[in-house]
């Protein structure tokens, strides 16, 4: 099994990915505990690990797509460190497609790299113009429900079995779909570790699964709350509106105080245009057990919420 | 440019057709699905109760009646995904909807289902649901391999973005856009939450939660920074209220509130959009009726050719309470007048 780490810039790659030192990353006081818990469990269950790959880029916002120069620097740093590189890309409009094309040119000029697509349009572009790059289906293309508000109910022992089975799976359950992906040259898919438990049995059909820790995605939008800060009230919250990357300045924590169930300690985190949940220890242990059982090909460690962006 | 209306019962057919609906869409959730998967797993993007027809015979009657009026009926099979077990069942249902019920088009999200339906070569056309989050021209080119006749664009695209897509795909596929009623705070196809009645929509549920900001970069937020963020959060919660149909409210005359694209109809006619979707299969018959009348009134005006500003003024007058239009938070689309 591979270990990958999500980096924010070339300097992090050059620093040698010192990785599992708790103080290595600025996760913020609200998220540091889950990052440290993840580091501790990784060490406990897998010992000292080495990252053989880094992930760079963003899955959630076309305003966070890096520049070709920034990508070039990361490509060079990864090559110098002799580790693989995976470029993460978000869902995009036509304008976003225009931003991605030069990045794919940078990657193509530098040998084989992976590109995670979260949009069929991005896959179409890759297949038509950049066939040397390796497409990986991103976690946004995996439509499994992941709503931590109702986790306890879905995973309860008296929940109806067919419903729970369905909620732990996705269309990756269908051989027709995995065959379709394979025909498109997609050999790997990324997934979130679901609050209700994730069924990775599709990996037995030859599809490689890559899982993120310790943050799971809940929802994302082209309408960004943070970007509204600099607008007059009437002009706030427009889809795709230009921003000053206000998402980089702060985090918003929600406490699920209005739950009809017993999970009042449940927290959600908004960073820019996207909401995330954090893994519990039980969720992490469950995922790592599946990794040890050979169902997971790669774990991607994200020491910060995956919304970082580097000023040019 | 057609007016596409939601329908959930044969009883609504005549009044909606008489009010100006030119296409219908609906859902059906047979009892077997509910018995097996309960309300936790939805066959389409609406709760099994209230938004969909419950029996095949009821659906068949609706389709026959609609066809007598010359109006096509589209049916949603637009859950984000189906598992292998569900897929066999859904394909069987799709064949029955096509052959026995005579549905004119199936509205699909899951690309695996789209692929299977394309291979099955049914008479029903295929429409790609907004839940598929088709946000760019390249994505449409990818989907065209499955032969859809229509792509439903998500609400989150702007008019210039829609125009670019329509210009690039004009001869290959029809484009449908949202026109009235429910909004979505998130990108619908990338929202992994449920609207199950026990918890409600995630976006509205968030508005009632306790919150705390944290500054990134290791420093504390100043009081001024915190206050600015709080004000923005308050504005955002007000926007969510509009997204949620103005708190599910209505005007003094009983007309529905909520997200609206009436002012953009003039632009959509110019661009060449094929269909304007009114949301709300689960809404009351009165809300559906009032919605269809509002949209049709503006469409008729646009068809008769007046100036764009005249159309916008008429649209705003139809919405009733001007302050909601002026808030800027009730619009699907920002229209350049």
The minimum CA-CA distance between A118 and chain B, rounded to whole Å, is: 10
pLDDT score of A23: 53
Above 70 in pLDDT, residue A207?
yes
Q: Residue A66 gets which letter from DSSP?
A: P
Percent of chain B with pLDDT over 90: 80
Measured CA to CA in angstroms, residue A61 lies from A99, A219, B120 at distances of: 12, 12, 36
Q: Is A263 on the interface with B (CB under 8 A)?
A: no
Looking at residues B262-275, what average pLDDT do you find? 98
Taking an 8 Å cut-off on Cβ atoms, the answer to whether A166 and B211 are in contact is no
Q: Mean pLDDT in chain A?
A: 93
Residues A95-123: tens digit of each pLDDT: 999 999 999 999 999 887 899 999 999 99
Please report, for residues A271, B24, B285, B288, the alpha-carbon distance to residue B16 in angstroms, rounded to integers and kept in the order given.
43, 9, 9, 7
- Residues 31..90 of A with a Cβ closer than 8 Å to B: which? none
| Confidence label for B229 from pLDDT (cuts 50, 70 and 90) | very high
Of the candidates B100, B97, B102, B137, the residue with the CA atom closest to the CA atom of residue B113 = B97
3-state SS record for chain B? CEEEEECCCHHHHHHHHHHCCCEEEECECCHHHHHHHHHHCCCCCCCCCCCCECCHHHHHHHHHHHHHCCCCEEEEECCCCCCHHHHHHHHHHHHHHHHCCCCCEEEECCHHHHHHHHHHCCCCEEEECHHHCCCCHHHHHHHHHHCCCEEECCCCCCHHHHHHHHHHHCCCCEEEEEEECCCCCCCHHHECCCCCCCCCCHHHHHCCCEEEEEECCCCCCCHHHHHHHHHHHHHHHHHHHHHCHHHHCECCCCCECCCECHHHHHHHHHHCCCEEEECCCCCCHHHHHHHHHHHHHHHHHHHHCCCHHHHHHHHHHHHCCHHHHHHCCCECCCCCC
Q: Give A59-97 pLDDT, tens digit per residue.
A: 999 999 999 999 999 999 999 999 999 999 999 999 999
Separation CA A133–CA A65 (nearest Å) = 18
Window 79-98 of B: residues touching A by CB (8 A cutoff) are 80-87
Condensed to tens digits (0 to 9), the pLDDT of residues B326-337 reads 999 999 999 987
Read off the pLDDT band of B253 (50, 70, 90): confident
Query: Which residues from A are below 8 Å from B233, CB to CB?
Result: 225, 252
Contact A26 B185 (CB under 8 A): no
**Is the CB of A250 less than 8 angstroms away from the CB of B229?**
yes
The token pair at A156 is 């309860």
| B222 contact A CB<8A | no
Q: Does A145 touch chain B (CB under 8 A)?
A: yes
The nearest CA of chain B is from the CA of A246 a distance in Å of 11
Q: Collect all residues of chain A within an 8 Å Cβ-Cβ radius of residue B194.
A: 145, 147, 150
Residue B175 is predicted with a pLDDT of 98
Q: A216 — alpha (psi -120 to 50), left (phi > 0) or beta?
A: beta
Question: Which of B41, B143, B190 is nearest residue A166 as measured by Cβ atoms?
Answer: B41
For residue A249, give both structure tokens.
């300045």
The minimum CA-CA distance between A297 and chain B, rounded to whole Å, is 22
What are the beta bridge partners of residue B23?
Answer: B4
Asked if A231 reaches chain B (Cβ–Cβ under 8 Å), the answer is: no
Residue B320 — φ and ψ, nearest 5°?
95, -80
**Of B41, B84, B210, which has the smallest distance from its Cβ to A173's Cβ?**
B84
Is the minimum CB–CB distance between B215 and chain A shorter than 8 Å? Answer: yes
Q: Which DSSP symbol is given to A149?
A: G
pLDDT band at A265 (very low <50, low <70, confident <90, very high): confident
Residue A142 has pLDDT above 90, yes or no: yes
* Residue A87 bridge partners (DSSP): A56, A115
User: In 3-state terms, what secondary structure has residue A26?
Assistant: coil
- Residues of chain B neighbouring A123 (CB-CB closer than 8 A): 142
């Amino acid at each position: 099994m591979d270990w990958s780490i999500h980096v924010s810039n070339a300097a992090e790659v050059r620093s040698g990915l010192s990785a599992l030192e708790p103080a290595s990353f600025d996760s913020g006081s609200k998220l540091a505990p889950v990052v440290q818990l993840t580091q501790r469990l990784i060490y406990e269950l897998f010992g000292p690990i080495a990252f053989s790959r880094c992930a760079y880029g963003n899955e959630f916002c076309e305003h966070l797509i890096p520049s070709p120069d920034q990508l070039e620097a990361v490509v060079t740093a990864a090559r110098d460190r002799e580790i693989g590189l995976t470029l993460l890309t978000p869902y995009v409009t036509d304008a976003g497609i225009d931003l991605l094309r030069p990045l794919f040119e940078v990657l193509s000029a530098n040998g084989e790299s992976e590109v995670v697509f979260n949009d069929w349009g991005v896959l179409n572009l890759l297949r038509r113009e950049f066939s040397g790059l390796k497409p990986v289906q991103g976690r946004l293309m995996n439509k499994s429900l992941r709503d931590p508000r109702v986790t306890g109910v879905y995973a309860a022992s008296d929940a109806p079995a067919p419903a729970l089975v369905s909620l732990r799976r996705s269309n990756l359950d269908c051989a027709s779909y995995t065959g379709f992906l394979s025909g498109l040259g997609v050999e790997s898919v990324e997934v979130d570790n679901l609050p209700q438990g994730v069924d990775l049995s599709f990996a037995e059909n030859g599809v490689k699964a890559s899982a993120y820790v310790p943050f799971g995605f809940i929802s994302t939008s082209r309408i960004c709350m943070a970007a509204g800060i600099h607008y007059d009230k009437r002009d706030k919250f427009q889809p795709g509106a230009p921003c000053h990357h206000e998402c980089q300045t702060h985090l918003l924590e929600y406490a699920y105080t209005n739950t009809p169930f017993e999970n009042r300690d449940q927290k959600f985190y908004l960073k820019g245009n996207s909401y995330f949940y954090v893994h519990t220890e039980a969720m992490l242990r469950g995922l790592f057990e599946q990794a040890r059982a050979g169902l997971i090909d790669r774990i991607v460690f994200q020491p910060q919420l995956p919304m970082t962006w580097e000023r040019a | 440019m057609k007016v596409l209306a939601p329908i959930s019962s044969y009883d609504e057919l005549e009044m909606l057709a008489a009010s100006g609906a030119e296409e219908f869409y609906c859902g059906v959730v047979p009892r077997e699905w509910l018995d097996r998967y309960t309300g936790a797993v939805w066959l389409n993007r609406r709760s099994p109760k209230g938004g969909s027809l419950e029996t095949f015979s009821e659906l068949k009657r609706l389709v026959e009646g609609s066809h007598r009026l010359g109006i096509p009926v589209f049916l949603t099979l637009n859950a984000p995904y189906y598992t292998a077990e569900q897929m066999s069942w859904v394909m069987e249902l799709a064949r029955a909807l096509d052959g026995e019920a005579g549905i004119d088009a199936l509205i699909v999200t899951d690309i695996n289902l789209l692929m299977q339906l394309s291979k099955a070569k049914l008479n029903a056309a295929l429409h790609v649901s907004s839940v598929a989050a088709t946000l760019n021209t390249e994505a449409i080119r990818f989907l065209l391999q499955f032969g859809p006749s229509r792509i439903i664009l998500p609400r989150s695209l702007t008019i210039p973005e829609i125009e670019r897509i329509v210009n690039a795909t004009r001869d290959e596929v029809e484009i449908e856009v949202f026109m009235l009623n429910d909004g979505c705070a998130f990108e619908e196809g990338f929202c992994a939450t449920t609207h199950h009645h026990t918890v409600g929509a995630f976006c509205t549920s968030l508005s009632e939660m306790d919150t705390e900001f944290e500054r990134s970069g290791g420093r504390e937020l100043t009081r001024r920074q915190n206050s600015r963020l709080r004000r923005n959060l308050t504005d955002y919660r007000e926007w969510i209220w509009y997204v949620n149909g103005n708190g599910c409210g209505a005007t003094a005359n009983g007309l529905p509130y909520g997200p609206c694209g009436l002012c953009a109809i003039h632009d959509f006619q110019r661009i060449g959009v094929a269909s304007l979707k009114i949301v709300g299969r689960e809404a009351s018959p009165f809300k559906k009726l009032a919605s269809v009348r509002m949209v049709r009134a503006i469409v008729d005006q646009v068809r008769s050719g007046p100036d764009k500003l005249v159309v916008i003024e008429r649209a705003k007058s139809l919405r009733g309470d001007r302050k909601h239009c002026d808030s800027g938070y009730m619009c699907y689309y920002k229209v350049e007048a």
